[in-house]
Chains A and B, each alone.
Chain A
Amino acid sequence: MPATFTRHPVEIERKDTGIGGKPPLDRRPTGGGGDGDNWENRPSGRRGPRELLTRYRLGVLFALAGDLMFFVALVSAFFVRQSAGHFDARENYVSDWHPLAMPPILWINTAILILSSLTMEMARRQLFHEIDVMDEWLGLGRPAVKRATPWLVATFVLGSVFLAGQWIAWEQLVQQGFRYNSPDPSSHFFYLITGTHGIHLLLGVIALAAAFGALFVLRRIELRQIVVDCTAWYWHTMGLFWIFLFALLVCFQ
């Protein structure tokens, strides 16, 4: 993307000495030097191999920032609700918050989700393995995709197992008598928190499936990288959110 600050122009000092002139002089305050990928001040389309990727990553970042605010709102409601109570007939302050015991399967689910983040990251890195990327770009087969595929499938499987595990946790709670409609606020929050996270993860699993299909449909290696990369960052974020939400449910009731 373009430079943040307007920089001093490079001064080209040429004096006609009659022999061939002097080399250009770089009078920039910091002495100039390399420009790395030379992001700065290049026209659109000429900003380097990761231009499109950066744009999509930014999009995912901002979308997730909004999503984070959504969860922040739920979490603050959670804390406020916990401390709410009323005066009963004997003028005692009673709270109707009864901490919900976490079904133990949630611990297993958490471990599975963390594992799935690892496999997701492996998949993402395979797709950025430079030698294979070069081969694909040259049209010599799809070695990067071949490397990434098993990891992608593993993530899909682990994600689905997580979702199944969450469902089982819900069934266990229902059997203990805690439905969403029961008057118990801690059960409301449990279902709300795990439910919204679960919906987000389901969308992630669907995205994984779509990314998997896209790997075989998309023609450009750049786009294949973007699809898997964005899905990966979304996946990691959902994993991170889950760790915080789970810690909330376990430690802060």
Chain B
Amino acid sequence: MRVFTTNHRALGILYLLLALAAVIAGTLLSLVMRVHRVWPDLALPFFGTIKPEDYLALVTMHGTLMIFFVLTTAPQIGFANLVLPEQIGARSMAFPRLNAAAFWLTALALLVLLAAFFVPQGAPISGWTSYPPLSAVAAAGPGEGAGMDLWLMSIGIFCLASWLGAVNMLVTILSERRAGMTWSRLPMTVWAWLVTSILTLLVFSELLAAIILLFSDRHFGSSFFVPQGDLVNGHIVGHGDGSPLLWLHLFWFFGHPEVYIAVLPGMGLATSLFANFARRRVPGYRLMAAMLLVIGLLGLVVWGHHMFVSGMNPYAGTAFALTTMAIAIPSTVEVLGWLTILWGGRLRLTTPMLFALGFLSFFIAGGLTGPILAQPVLDAYLHNTFFVVAHFHLVMAMAGVFSVFAGVYYWFPLMTRRMMNETLGKLHFWITLIAAYGTFFPMHFSGLAGEPRHYERLAGPITSFSAIAANERGITFSALLLASAQLIFLWNVFASARRGRVAEANPWEATTLEWAPEMARARVERGPYEYEILANETNFHPQWELASKQE
């Protein structure tokens, strides 16, 4: 494989490796955070004692790495590069060189981001949301100088990379489908990639504009976000009527669709895997595809629910509360759809299926706290507490990561022609599931007790913090277990790639085209999930089979 390859499968693997590097870095940062919260004065090897600004830098970089470089790459463009062309019956992506350019820009963005650790004063401390004026004024905190500039440049490059990637994916899905591959024959994964590509196209360019405005405030004396008379560290830095609220609107208009970009591909993959391993057709195929579209569309008009208590007009709060509550409906349809597939199927509990089931469990657990946070009066208590941290880690991080695991175990034979070890896979699944719930579920209680986010240690007059100290310890131990369990996965991946059981063609007895044998170049005449023929679970029609007259 040449370094600057344009082969989409190689690029898919490169994206997955990039996400792997980012998730390892992000996980290490989170472990340091968790250990610090329980033993604040401990001097850690290599890191030393964690100062308050170090903690905030860890939080910021953890969030940035995980959301951008893990959850926006692997499930979406990583897996799409691996199998999208095959799934629609195309030979390659529409613009292979553009595709490659998108990857290398993403890699550059990751390097620029990691460089923020090594500049004077270190990485930024304003969170992945980088609200100004904290992020606009270098004097407002350590790391807000060069570190913040590097953060902005990294995310700016990432925006460009995402834009190119989305253009490629959209044109591929629209124009490279094989003859006969109509919209109602697309695998659900392709529907999900279609919706996420549209969202990516719309919101990352908008984020880029916001980043340029923030960069301008920092270096060119403009005042888009810094208000008049802003006094930081004894110096007046605000010379114009900027509005910090403007940044919140611009950022969250991107930020909310971003979390749907992170989770929608997993939803499409879950449908595919459930159909495959329950040996069932998808009963509400059109409805579920439509719901993906509706979630994507609605996701564009709910951004204000991150801003209920940020100074926004309370009437606007009501409007956003209603749109946010509305999004619960298509999500519920999806969940009921999955549960219906499972109920009527004969389940094969392979490792990819287990992870898909885990995805469903986390999606339910995290998703159910959404309606609480969608109510402004309740959010007025829970905003920026650990309740929110529990919510998004369950519904986005764990569900997203489980969908990535499911995809890796499922498509491993395509990448390496070998199978991953099932026993290790099951062990990995069970420990990860239990440890993930153990890590994030108790955070709900911390949040209800009022524990705010981004606190490097719990001290001060609030005594309910002492009541949740035991909680914190439990969470940290769970987190350590969670991280350790991933070593099983890493071992499994690298050992199976070399010495795993050789995979037969179509080892999962799937119907979708990425499993088609080489010679199958005929037009597509079958739907994506034609399992369960004549109520017999072993009888199924792969999508590359021609329709016969007997049907």
Binding site for B on A (CB under 8 A): 1-6, 41-44, 54-55, 58-59, 62-63, 65-74, 76-77, 80-81, 84-86, 95-97, 180-185, 188, 192
Contacts and interface: CB of A to CB of B under 8 A. Distances in A.
Given A62-B171, A70-B209, A73-B206, A4 B182 contact: yes
Interface string B204-215: 111011101100
A65 B222 contact: no
Shortest Cβ-Cβ A-B pairs, 8 listed: A73-B209, A84-B241, A70-B205, A69-B205, A66-B205, A73-B206, A188-B222, A181-B221
B94 A63 contact: no
Nearest to A185: B240
Contact of B171 (A4, A59, A74, A80): A59
Interface in B191-246: 201-206, 208-210, 212-213, 216, 220-224, 227-229, 239-243, 246
Interface in B164-184: 166-168, 170-171, 174-184
Given A59-B167, A62-B167, A86-B229, A183 B221 contact: yes
A223 to B, nearest CB: 14
Given A43-B523, A59-B167, A67-B205, A6 B216 contact: no
B359 interface: no
A1 to B, nearest CB: 5
Contacts of A95: 241
B241 A63 contact: no
Given A62-B201, A66-B202, A70-B208, A41 B222 contact: no
26 contacts: A2-B177, A2-B178, A6-B184, A6-B185, A43-B523, A44-B179, A58-B170, A62-B166, A62-B201, A65-B202, A66-B163, A69-B206, A70-B209, A73-B253, A76-B250, A81-B224, A81-B246, A86-B229, A96-B228, A180-B221, A183-B239, A183-B240, A185-B224, A188-B216, A188-B222, A192-B216
Contacts of A63: 163, 167
Contacts of B229: 86
B493 interface: no
Contacts of A5: 182-184
A77 B167 contact: no
Given A58-B174, A62-B167, A81-B242, 6 more contacts: A1-B175, A1-B177, A55-B176, A81-B243, A81-B246, A96-B228
Contact of B210 (A4, A6, A73): A73
Contact of B209 (A6, A44, A77, A86): A77
A44 B180 CA distance: 11
A96 B223 CA distance: 11
Given A77-B224, A183-B221, A59 B95 contact: yes
Contact of B183 (A4, A68, A80): A4
A82 B239 CA distance: 15
A14 to B, nearest CB: 14
Contacts of B166: 62, 66
> Of residues B202, B224, B229, which shows the largest number of chain A Cβ atoms within 10 Å of its Cβ?
B224
Contacts of B523: 41, 43
Contacts of B201: 62, 65-66, 69
Contacts of B180: 2, 41
A54 B181 CA distance: 18
A181 to B, nearest CB: 4
A96 B182 contact: no
Interface in B339-377: none
B91 interface: yes
Contact of A44 (B91, B203, B213, B220): B91
B206 A96 contact: no
Contacts of B208: 70
Contacts of A65: 201-202
Interface in B103-145: none
Contact of A58 (B163, B175, B185, B239): B175
Contact of B175 (A3, A54, A68): A54
A6 B181 CA distance: 9
Contacts of B167: 59, 62-63, 66
B90 interface: yes
Given A55-B171, A62-B167, A77-B224, A84 B242 contact: yes
Contacts of A2: 177-182
Contact of B246 (A67, A70, A77): A77
B198 to A, nearest CB: 9
A84 B250 CA distance: 16
Contacts of B202: 65-66, 69
A118 to B, nearest CB: 28
Given A62-B201, A96-B240, A86 B174 contact: no
Contact of B220 (A68, A71, A180): A180
Nearest to B247: A77
A59 B213 CA distance: 27
A115 B240 CA distance: 39
Nearest to B206: A73
